[in-house]
């Protein structure tokens, strides 16, 4: 595995922007886990650190390291303090958690690595955006096409007959691809004749998303597209088309067992399971209001809390609370919630100030992510954390994509 690290290191020495695009393309590589000595890591993390070392070596050779880092830090602008508070609150929660090793490991993957990736994107903010979006498009298309093939060829072996691609659950695939789909839609349809590769990437991801039968993903995508139309006259005509597709998908789902049980709060339905998890999460928050239980400590805390809510519960093993607000509050407390709210407020302000297609598209992608977060957890996974910070950092890029226009916002 260590030998593979030479690839992103060498690419970063040659072209840092391509290395960052490659990392965006291989986000699911966090699923390949191993240890370096006593420290657990993933192939994605190793690639990130190798690319970082390559970039540092390049800047040292060019004698630009200090100047570029200072410029990048200044470019973070209004993100600086909320990021410091976010990283600090997560670290404090990890150190004070009942399982410090698990807490620090989760903090490293979900906070430090994600912020590092975002910082590298900002360092190369003038030239990185096509490589980053190209990486997200190609990587998501590959896992989507793999998932579609698996859905067709191995349908009987899939969990509940739903597409899950390389992930353990269909919802994980939807969580990763929905913001990317919105991002690609914004890029594709800003022109009268969308580029073929973008249309192909959107089509592959939409097809895979449909077969996940993730209703949270469907609603999140619809919300993102609606925001595109709301904030941009350029995209408004496409909202009608997407709305029609949503209606068609809805009709196709009527009569399925999953649809019939959508509002069923009895038995072993998804809604009933979530209610129990949310009740246990709220109990955890009440018991640890300020700094939470620490990143990566939700599952043991849940097992301790759930018997006080219901016994026996529908699920004993729950890694996260299927809710972004509850996940943040339970693991990092009110301090962590305040940091995320502060960071998101800075993001929406920065995106709006761009007054271009990218600002409108990033706003829509983040709204889709947050809407999905009402029923699932779109951050506390290695790939999702890096994607979140990629969206943040893209709002700061300085490429001359399009002049500010009244057609946006």
Lowest mean pLDDT of 95-104, 118-127, 295-304, 340-349, name the range. Answer: 118-127
User: Which tens digits make up the pLDDT trace of 145-174?
Assistant: 999 999 999 887 787 889 999 998 999 999
What 3-state DSSP class applies to 293?
coil
Task: Give the pLDDT confidence of 322-338 residue by residue, as tens digits.
Answer: 999 999 999 999 999 99
The residue with tokens 């709305």 is: 243
CA distance 250 to 189: 24
pLDDT band at 400 (very low <50, low <70, confident <90, very high): very low
Q: What is the pTM of this model?
A: 0.93
pLDDT of residue 265: 67
218: three-class secondary structure by DSSP:
helix
Reported as a single tens digit per residue, the pLDDT across 221-234 is: 999 998 988 877 76
Q: Which pair of tokens denotes residue 407?
A: 């057609």
pLDDT for the residue 105: 96
- pLDDT tens digits, one per residue of 85-97: 999 999 999 999 9
Distances in whole angstroms, Cα of residue 69 to Cα of each of 55, 59, 64, 76, 123: 11, 10, 8, 11, 7
Tens of pLDDT, residue by residue over 29-76, are: 999 999 888 889 999 999 999 999 999 999 998 888 888 889 888 888
> E strand or H helix at 5, and its extent?
none
């Amino acid at each position: 595995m260590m030998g593979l690290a030479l690839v992103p290191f060498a690419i970063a020495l040659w072209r840092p922007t391509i290395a960052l695009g490659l990392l965006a393309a291989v986000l699911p590589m966090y699923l390949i886990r191993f240890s370096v000595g006593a420290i657990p890591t993933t192939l994605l993390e190793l690639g990130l650190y190798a690319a970082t070392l390559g970039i540092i070596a390049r800047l040292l050779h060019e004698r630009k390291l200090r100047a570029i880092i200072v410029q990048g830090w200044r470019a973070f602008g209004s993100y600086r303090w909320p990021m410091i508070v976010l990283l600090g609150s997560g670290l404090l929660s990890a150190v004070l958690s009942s399982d410090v090793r698990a807490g620090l490991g989760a903090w490293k993957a979900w906070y430090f690595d994600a912020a590092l990736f975002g910082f590298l994107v900002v360092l190369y903010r003038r030239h990185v955006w096509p490589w980053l979006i190209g990486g997200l498009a190609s990587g998501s298309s590959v896992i989507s096409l793999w998932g579609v093939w698996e859905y067709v060829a191995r349908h009987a072996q899939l969990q509940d007959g739903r597409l899950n691609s390389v992930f353990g659950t269909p919802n994980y695939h939807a969580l990763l691809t929905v913001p990317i789909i919105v991002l690609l839609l914004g890029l594709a349809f800003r022109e009268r004749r969308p580029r073929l590769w973008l249309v192909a990437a959107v089509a592959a991801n939409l097809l895979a998303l449909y077969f996940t039968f993730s209703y949270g993903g469907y609603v999140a995508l619809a919300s993102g597209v609606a925001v595109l139309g709301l904030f941009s006259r350029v995209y408004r005509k496409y909202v009608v088309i997407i709305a029609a597709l949503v209606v068609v998908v809805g009709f196709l789902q009527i009569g399925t067992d999953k649809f019939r049980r959508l509002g069923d709060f009895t038995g072993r339905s998804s809604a009933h399971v979530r209610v129990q998890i949310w009740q246990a999460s709220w109990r955890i928050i009440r018991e640890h209001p300020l700094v939470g239980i620490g990143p990566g400590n939700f599952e043991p805390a849940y097992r301790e809390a759930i018997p006080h809510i219901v016994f026996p519960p529908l699920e004993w093993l729950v890694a996260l609370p299927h809710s972004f607000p509850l996940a943040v509050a339970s693991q990092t407390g009110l301090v962590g919630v305040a940091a995320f709210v502060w960071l998101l407020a800075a993001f929406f302000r920065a995106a709006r100030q761009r007054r271009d297609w990218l600002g409108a598209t990033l706003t829509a992608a983040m709204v889709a992510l947050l809407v999905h977060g009402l029923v699932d957890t779109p951050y506390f996974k290695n790939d999702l954390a890096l994607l979140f910070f990629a969206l943040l950092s893209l709002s700061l890029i300085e490429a001359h994509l399009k002049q500010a226009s009244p057609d946006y916002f």
